[in-house]
Structure 1
Amino acid sequence: MTSTIPPDESAARAEALVPRFKFERLLNLDQAGRRISLLGNIDSEPGILLLERAAFPTDANHLSTLPTSLVDIKNLGANDIYSWFLASSPPTPSTPNLKLNLIYPCTPAHIKKYTSQSLRIVLETPSIYKTYMQPYMSQKREAGALNWIFNILEGRTEQEQVIYRAPNPDKDEGFLLLPDLNWDRKTMGSLHLLGLVERRDLWSLRDLRKEHVGWVKHMRDMLLEATVKLYPELERDQLKLYVHYQPTYYHFHIHIVHVNLESGSTQATGKALGLENIISQLETIQGGPEAGMADVSLSYHLGEASELWEKIYLPLKEGRSVEL
């Protein structure tokens, strides 16, 4: 079963939303000022608009006219052979210079996520995971937080976003690929895909055990094969795979990115764990087939406005009881 709204009509509806966005306040300015997060509303419902500088076009025609198209050039300084300036490049319909993401209608959790906030490093021990994190994950899943993922997997929504689906997969080997929201879908050096597995017994990397090593390696190979098939200009050793912990949603998925992609906060220590390192850790962990990532301590960062910090780690730090 697929969406009843034709892709062209769905795109037109989405494009009509942006001009109706009414600004309320600035949430964040990050990536060295290249991305801005705005809170506003559309028809009285809250929304978040993310604006990011788009990649430069690289075709020869555009580059040959780029220097002469610059306006408002102002010199900021000079030293020997070096000079630096500020300038403006007028946009043209064929070379848009902004990439937009719209979250509408958004929830308070979205607002917290995209609001500038201080970070804290936390240590999630096996005991904290089993006592607090597992029940927290279960609450989120039971509340329907993953319905949108299941709708994609089952072919009900967003099928126009699916760029690859594993053909005739064996048991537990099904997966699909989607472009990450932050990729412009054309600049290979910033390629970023999401590999969603179809099996539902794995919520996060915490569910991976020694007995899953063969499966993880097989998924790695299939994801790499599918990516280079989609983009023949790429080779396997130009791609890196990682998993987030904590993930944004509790359904196991793997990120596939070009090695040249700048390592922002989503690839930083405290957020991303390389898939090869996870495989190695599973292979060398002490114990039988049931031993796994649930048995180790994991360190990661959290925003002070996040639910996990407010509900779990701040109470634990202050010696208070945790109420989920």
Structure 2
Amino acid sequence: MAESGKRKIEAADGGNGAEGQEESVKIKKTICSDSGDGNVSACEFLLSGFETKAVLRDSAREKNIFIHGKIADQETVVILEKTPIREENLFELFKNSRLKLEMKNDIYSTYQLHPPPHLNEIKTTVVCPATEKHVKKYLRQETFLVEETGEDYRSITLPFIQSQSFSIQWVYNILEKKAEADRIVYEDPDPKVGFVLLPDFKWDQKQLDDLYLIAIVHRKDIKSLRDLTSEHIPLLCNIRKRGEDAIQKQYGVPANKLRVYLHYQPSYYHLHVHFTSLSYDAPGSGVERAHLLSDVIQNLQADAQYYHSRSLCFPLRADDGLLSKFKNAGRL
């Protein structure tokens, strides 16, 4: 399912359960514990023993690559992506870089530029231990557009979701301040309309052009867009108003320069809202998956049960189990 993509590690855990979580803690303690010299963390050398098995996907346009392999006999997915060139670094980049000529023709010339190491970083995300679902998530595959009616959701999608062991413990860890507490930009603790707002892992927080934050609601009874009714309008309005205000205060980005939306299907089944810079072509922001929060609110104001009956379209990858369910039901 997104991406992202969710956040790079926001995807469904794929049913690791208690055993998988215990193993995850164990490997972190083993690999990312202090090395003993008081200065260098073993995490710095986390990838030194990485054994590559396969390249799952790469993109020259997006300048990233997804690799499947192993770390200490644990299945691992590593995501490498080039960081953006920032305006404030241009002076140092031009002054301290070396150029190697590749070609010159009249007024045109091309070079390889070798910048200082700290200006040549590669953002790296490590998923370890990775499940088969993680590997499939990042594997390049054919996608299909599915049109789901309200009845399809109740008879096909919802039973499928309920049959899967999608762990969202990492979400509860954030809400309970057991993890990422220092990354929270804003919180409304109200149990009915409250949420936490924090940067998505896709954003390195070094420039505003690709600003990306996620609002995660405190309520645990709303899985996705399909569960929303007019009862939830105060929650959604609160997220929009307070989220936009917090971003304006923290980053100086006004509401009219933000894209605020929900995914359907979501990448994990706990209601959350995406806040991205309007200038950023964020993964999953296309019309086949993103629903503007303002539209969602207006639809619920016009029809209290709008998302219970409305047909919704979304893309599914060829290996997605939900796609098979739709095919078996004769809906594709």
TM more than 0.5: yes
The answer on 1:316 being equivalent to 2:329 is yes
Change (3 A) 1:65 1:214: closer
Measured in 2, the distance between the counterparts of 1:306 and 1:31 equals 25
Unmatched segments (≥5 aa) in structure 2:
1-24, 35-39
Change (3 A) 1:294 1:318: closer
Structure of higher RCO (CA pairs closer than 8 Å, 6+ residues apart): 2
1:292 shift after superposition: 2.8
Match of 1:43 among 68, 72, 79: 72
Measured in 1, the distance between the counterparts of 2:132 and 2:191 equals 38
Match of 1:173 among 193, 205, 221: 193
> Residue by residue, what CA displacement relative to the aligned partner does 1:46-69 show, whole Å, maximum 9, x if unpaired?
111111110113226x33642873
Match of 1:125 among 120, 125, 149: 149
Match of 1:18, SS? coil
Change (3 A) 1:178 1:65: closer
Change (3 A) 1:250 1:77: farther
Quote the residue 2:253 is aligned against.
Answer: 234
> Residue by residue, what CA displacement relative to the aligned partner does 1:3-31 show, whole Å, maximum 9, x if unpaired?
9x99x969945443222222111100136
Given that residues 53 and 97 in structure 1 are in contact (C-alpha distance below 8 angstroms), is that contact kept between their aligned partners in structure 2?
A: yes
Match of 2:122 among 77, 98, 122: 98
Measured in 2, the distance between the counterparts of 1:76 and 1:25 equals 37
TM-score where L is the length of structure 2: 0.81
Change (3 A) 1:164 1:217: closer
Given that residues 97 and 116 in structure 2 are in contact (C-alpha distance below 8 angstroms), is that contact kept between their aligned partners in structure 1?
A: no
The amino acid across from 2:59 in the alignment is: D
Change (3 A) 1:13 1:175: farther
The answer on 1:29 being equivalent to 2:42 is no
1:118 shift after superposition: 0.6
| 1:284-303 superposed matches below 5 A | 284-285=302-303, 289=304, 291-303=305-317
What is the Cα-based RMSD across aligned positions, in Å?
2.8
**After alignment, is 186-195 or 68-77 more displaced?**
68-77
Match of 2:264 among 235, 245, 263: 245
Measured in 2, the distance between the counterparts of 1:76 and 1:180 equals 42
1:74 shift after superposition: 2.6
1:309 shift after superposition: 1.7
Given that residues 93 and 115 in structure 2 are in contact (C-alpha distance below 8 angstroms), is that contact kept between their aligned partners in structure 1?
A: no
Match of 2:81 among 33, 52, 57: 52
> Residue by residue, what CA displacement relative to the aligned partner does 1:88-128 show, whole Å, maximum 9, x if unpaired?
33242432332111111111111111000011011111111
Match of 2:58, SS? strand
| 1:179-194 superposed matches below 5 A | 179-194=199-214
> Residue by residue, what CA displacement relative to the aligned partner does 1:246-305 show, whole Å, maximum 9, x if unpaired?
1110000001111111x25411122211111212222223xxx4x131211001111112
Given that residues 225 and 262 in structure 2 are in contact (C-alpha distance below 8 angstroms), is that contact kept between their aligned partners in structure 1?
A: yes
Given that residues 209 and 282 in structure 1 are in contact (C-alpha distance below 8 angstroms), is that contact kept between their aligned partners in structure 2?
A: yes
TM-score where L is the length of structure 1: 0.83
Quote the residue 2:10 is aligned against.
Answer: none
Unmatched segments (≥5 aa) in structure 1:
320-324
Change (3 A) 1:43 1:120: same
Change (3 A) 1:144 1:155: farther
Match of 1:148 among 170, 183, 199: 170
